Chains A and B, each alone.
Chain A
Amino acid sequence: MDFSITEEQSALKDVISRFIDNEYDFERRMKIADGETAFNHEVWNFFVEQGFTAILFSEEDGGLDGGAVEMMLIMKEIGRGLMLEPFLENIVLAGGVLKRLGTTKQKEQWLGEIINGEIQATVAFTEPQSRFNLNDISTTAKKQNNQFIINGKKSFVPNGADADLIIMPARTSGSQSDTHGITLFGVSKESDGLSFNTYKTVDGHSATEITITNVKITADCVIGNIDEGYDCLEETIDEATLAICAEAIGIMRSLHDKTVEYSKNRVQFGIPIGGFQALQHRMVDNLMACEQSESLLLWAVMTDAKNTKNLKKAISGLKYQIGTAGKHVGQEAVQLHGGMGISWELDIAHLFKRLSALEILFGNADFHLQRFIDLSDS
């Protein structure tokens, strides 16, 4: 039993942490969020140069052999710094599919380019009707000679505006909710028949709706076996869920720390409001929510990935916790800041909004509680 991190892991955390403290303050973050582009490309280059983009891949795939602990450390800092750069989309989502199912050629090309920062990538994991069900896919891919013709619609594709490579699950057989019959395609954004509708999201990020009309994809862009893409999609989204839970905890801790600090300085009725017991107990509740969330994060991170059922269960348990405890901490932080908590000017509002978005992303608390039950032995 050992909860300590290695020196290398600690160094990794320090690099990104220092970068946030020195070069990614709230003011800069808001400038990026308000700017023309979805994120800052110079900052992304920093991720590439520091090897963050390589960390989660095996040496064989051109990576640095990192794992869940490294991902957790990076994502917590991304949360704390409210960073907009698409580590999740490029590395955890698109990279996650490719490292699992990509052919040598696909890895050399796409994964290599992602790691080098030459291309942007994402996964289009949801459709207008599917809510949180990854298997609910009505986008179709029909085989015609040596190619596939794809038709359908993908909603809420994060990093969709910048992605050169969009990994799209589409139905090659079966009915709308079958897990069998889903195939993963690597689609270039230049393909004829794609139309994009990009919008900003409430948390300062952006996403894209993609309409797919008779898009022709050659067979060498199929990732993995025909009809058998679901397991990879689910595992990848699970890993991404773990990642955003770490991000959420980075945000929750930040909200909690800032709230306690604020309560020591804000004077009302002649004393700092942190002196009032009613507020003290609420801040203690927030602390406990953070600690309990951190504990579940560590549980999920340390769960043996080979035991897929246990891992899924751990991740759903964690996401349920983040959905409930995160909502609590976020709302309380805003409430304890009073009017300041609802002003655009303060970071509290933006931390709260990102946290609220993460509660929904990849399934809310209700969804994951049910999944946790369904995964339990009955």
Chain B
Amino acid sequence: MHTNFTPEEHDFEQEVQAFFKDKYPDDIKQKQDRAIPLLKEDFIRWQKVLYEQGWAAINWPVEYGGTGWSTVQKYIFANEMAKANAPAIVPFGLGMVGPVIYTYGNEEQKQRFLPDIAASNVWWCQGYSEPGSGSDLASLKTRADRDGNEYIVNGTKTWTTLGQMADWIFCLLRTSSDVARKQEGISFILVDMKTPGVTVRPIITIEGGHEVNEVHFEDVRVPLNNLIGEEGKGWTYGKVLLQHERTSIAGVARSEYRLNRLKDKIRNADKAQPSLQGDNSFLRKIAALEIELKALEYTELRTLAAVSVGNAPGPESSLLKIRGTEIQQRLDELFMEAAGYFSLPYVPDQYSLESNETMHVGFGSDTVSSLQYFNNRKASIYGGSNEIQKNIIAKHVLGL
């Protein structure tokens, strides 16, 4: 029983560190470090750097352009990525629809879609939730009715993250209502966002940002060969994808990075900002969080170890999602608490690389702390709310 790396894993770690040091674009790094929102082109440029290195499709099998890494290698990579504060890979293409296509798609679909996903040539978004189907996702009503060699899609998807940037959307659509269980009759279908009848409308979230959207479908004609796998089996495919999503949204390494930033902030408080170093009640909150996060790190390692001997991430990924998002939100709270009054200015426009930080109201990262806090209340809601995760654990782990 040990958590040591092999010599090869150590070499790999150094290789990854060197990569982030040399290849991570400096202007993107500055934006990340100063909490300036990234543009679509920033994400794409960064993901293409990863692609050139052969490190974009981390979880994919080698035959589709994946890395073929072991779970330990993936763990090392995620850690180094967090330590470098590099942007996380936008999950919709590489993390979500890609695996569904190479697992359930036919040969033609694999060749048509996978290369562009791997190279970040095409931006994807996710069409799952609907205005009437949140936690009860299987109650979704957006229809895909067969008409010759096409589906006609009608309905509305919502909470579509970065849909305003997307070229394609993967959807769970109802292809049959004549079913015994509502989980049946749902199909996994890919839709080109440029198809006539697709409209994207922004939803402004609590902190004032535009991250999510409503996507409306009005008589949208989609070729039948955009159906992935079997008609009516989409629920099963979508569920597999959600389990992958849940492990990745635990964000352990990134929370560790943020925790260290918070500790640095307290240690290096300058004259302009009062020090929290002597505030023991605050230090106790940080320590309690650090312990909880350390526990989650080992829970993740235990899950990875199980996966590396051939077990798929199962319901235990729900545990990672719950605790991971709780910890992220706790960090958000503590950053805002630490910022005090400086968390209150609402001046989102002041953040750009060109603007001089000394001209800002307050301190960049301090004013952003409140926006982050408000925005990230989403973490315990998306990916299947934490209450839904508890239902899953109760049913599949506890057998209730």
A interface residues with partner B (beta carbon < 8 Å): 1-5, 69, 260, 263-264, 274-275, 277, 280-281, 283-285, 287-288, 291-293, 295-296, 298-299, 301-302, 317, 320-321, 369-370, 372-373, 376, 378
Residue of B nearest to A371 (CB): B287
Task: List chain A residues, Cβ under 8 A from B301.
Answer: 1, 3, 295
Task: List chain A residues, Cβ under 8 A from B400.
Answer: 260, 263-264, 274-275, 280, 283
| Interface status of B394 (Cβ within 8 A of chain A) | yes
Nearest CB of chain B from residue A7's CB, rounded to whole Å: 13
Q: Give the most central of A291, A296, A302, A321: most B CB within 10 Å.
A: A291
Encode contact with A along B5-19: 1 for CB under 8 Å, 0 otherwise: 100000000000000
Q: How far is the CA of A317 from the CA of B298 in the complex (A)?
A: 13
Q: How far is the CA of A4 from the CA of B305 in the complex (A)?
A: 9
Among the listed B298, B390, B393, which residue makes an inter-chain contact with A296, where contact means beta carbons less than 8 Å apart?
Answer: B298
Known: A295-B301, A298-B298. 9 other contacts (CB 8 A): A1-B301, A3-B301, A4-B1, A260-B398, A260-B400, A288-B322, A295-B295, A373-B280, A373-B283
Is A284 a contact partner of B394 (Cβ separation < 8 A)? yes
Is A280 a contact partner of B398 (Cβ separation < 8 A)? yes
Q: How far is the CA of A281 from the CA of B322 in the complex (A)?
A: 12
A-B contacts, CB under 8 A, total: 109
Is B295 a contact partner of A320 (Cβ separation < 8 A)? no
Nearest CB of chain A from residue B257's CB, rounded to whole Å: 17
Among the listed B288, B323, B391, which residue makes an inter-chain contact with A277, where contact means beta carbons less than 8 Å apart?
Answer: B391
Nearest CB of chain B from residue A369's CB, rounded to whole Å: 6
Is A288 a contact partner of B323 (Cβ separation < 8 A)? yes
Is A295 a contact partner of B302 (Cβ separation < 8 A)? yes
Is A293 a contact partner of B295 (Cβ separation < 8 A)? yes
Encode contact with A along B321-354: 1 for CB under 8 Å, 0 otherwise: 0110000000000000000000000000000000
Q: How far is the CA of A292 from the CA of B319 in the complex (A)?
A: 10
Q: A2-B305, A69-B1 are known contacts. Are A295 and B298 too (CB-CB below 8 A)?
A: yes
Task: List chain B residues, Cβ under 8 A from A317.
Answer: 290-291, 294
Residue of A nearest to B267 (CB): A378
Is B295 a contact partner of A321 (Cβ separation < 8 A)? yes
> Contact residue range for chain B?
35 or more
User: What are 19 A-to-B residue pairs whose CB atoms are below 8 Å?
Assistant: A1-B5, A1-B304, A3-B302, A264-B400, A280-B391, A281-B387, A284-B393, A287-B397, A288-B322, A291-B319, A292-B296, A292-B323, A295-B294, A295-B299, A296-B298, A299-B297, A370-B284, A372-B287, A373-B284
Q: How far is the CA of A296 from the CA of B283 in the complex (A)?
A: 20
Among the listed B1, B277, B291, B322, which residue makes an inter-chain contact with A298, where contact means beta carbons less than 8 Å apart?
Answer: B1
Q: How far is the CA of A372 from the CA of B283 in the complex (A)?
A: 10
B residues 285-316 with Cβ under 8 Å of A?
287-288, 290-292, 294-299, 301-302, 304-305, 316
Q: How far is the CA of A301 from the CA of B297 in the complex (A)?
A: 15
Interface SS, B side: helix
Q: How far is the CA of A299 from the CA of B304 in the complex (A)?
A: 15
Is A283 a contact partner of B398 (Cβ separation < 8 A)? yes
Residue of A nearest to B322 (CB): A288
Task: List chain A residues, Cβ under 8 A from B280.
Answer: 373
Task: List chain A residues, Cβ under 8 A from B295.
Answer: 292-293, 295-296, 299, 321
Residue of A nearest to B285 (CB): A369
Is B398 a contact partner of A1 (Cβ separation < 8 A)? no
Task: List chain A residues, Cβ under 8 A from B299.
Answer: 291-292, 295
Which 9 A-B pairs have CB atoms at the shortest separation, nearest pair first? A295-B298, A280-B394, A292-B295, A274-B400, A317-B291, A284-B390, A295-B299, A295-B295, A3-B305
Is B1 a contact partner of A281 (Cβ separation < 8 A)? no
Is A283 a contact partner of B394 (Cβ separation < 8 A)? yes
Is B287 a contact partner of A376 (Cβ separation < 8 A)? yes
Residue of B nearest to A283 (CB): B398
Is A299 a contact partner of B305 (Cβ separation < 8 A)? no
Q: A1-B4, A1-B305, A3-B305 are known contacts. Are A299 and B294 too (CB-CB below 8 A)?
A: yes
Is B323 a contact partner of A5 (Cβ separation < 8 A)? no
Task: List chain B residues, Cβ under 8 A from A295.
Answer: 294-299, 301-302
Task: List chain A residues, Cβ under 8 A from B288.
Answer: 320, 369
Task: List chain A residues, Cβ under 8 A from B283.
Answer: 373
Among the listed A5, A296, A373, which residue makes an inter-chain contact with B1, where contact means beta carbons less than 8 Å apart?
Answer: A5
